[in-house]
A and B are shown apart, each in its own frame.
Chain A
Amino acid sequence: SYVLTQPPSVSVAPGKTARITCGGNNIGTKSVHWYQQKPGQAPVLVINYDSDRPSGIPERFSGSNSGNTATLTISRVEAADEADYYCQVWDTSSDVVFGGGTKLTVL
């Protein structure tokens, strides 16, 4: 089955840029979706189809996908961005796959 690899944690100072990676074999050929989850809450979609931002998501959130790595970039990080972030794709057997999640800490 397809495996998505995320770093367990990323730390960033307020106002700086956070980059969260999602690695997978030829992930650049798949559509990658990103979710934000805060403690005790359901996940929220922040990026779909590699780089599209749903309505209501700040422009500070952006995404890219090429080769074996997809990246979620959060510019001008704020304290409210502290959360767990998950990438998601569909594999060739029509299964949904989530990455292991990355905890973003705002210093």
Chain B
Amino acid sequence: QVQLLQSGAEVKKPGASVKVSCKASGYTFNIYYMHWVRQAPGQGLEWMGLFNPSGSRTNFAQKFQGRVAMTRDTSTSTVYMELRSLKSEDTAVYYCARGIGSGSHIDVWGQGTLVTVSS
């Protein structure tokens, strides 16, 4: 079945970077978008950006531009999200999620990765 398996929880210090992985299985990896969405404790969903496998294009929310990168490894069907210059406000659960395409919905979500930023 379609599955997105994310890497484990991370604890980082302010100013550091974190790289979260998302391994896809059960579908043709290079056809679908991969979104990254985060959720701070007790808060709502916040879209960070997406990786479009067509041409390896990315689109980031303005809030994260300059601080986030999204890459993929086709050989392992894995997408990575790296967030730099971490602040305490970046403490959140980070989800990867499969998207059907522009204008469309998200149909499969990873289990989430908790990133804690604390000195």
Contact = CB atoms under 8 A, between A and B. Distances in A.
Interface of A: 1, 31, 33, 35, 37, 42-45, 48-49, 54, 84, 86, 88, 90, 94-101
Contacts, number: 55
Contact of B44 (A1, A45, A95, A100): A100
A90 B46 CA distance: 13
A100 B106 CA distance: 17
Contacts of B78: none
B105 A88 contact: yes
A44 to B, nearest CB: 8
B109 A42 contact: yes
Interface SS majority for chain A: strand
B35 A45 contact: no
A88 B99 CA distance: 12
B102 A94 contact: yes
Contacts of A86: 44-45
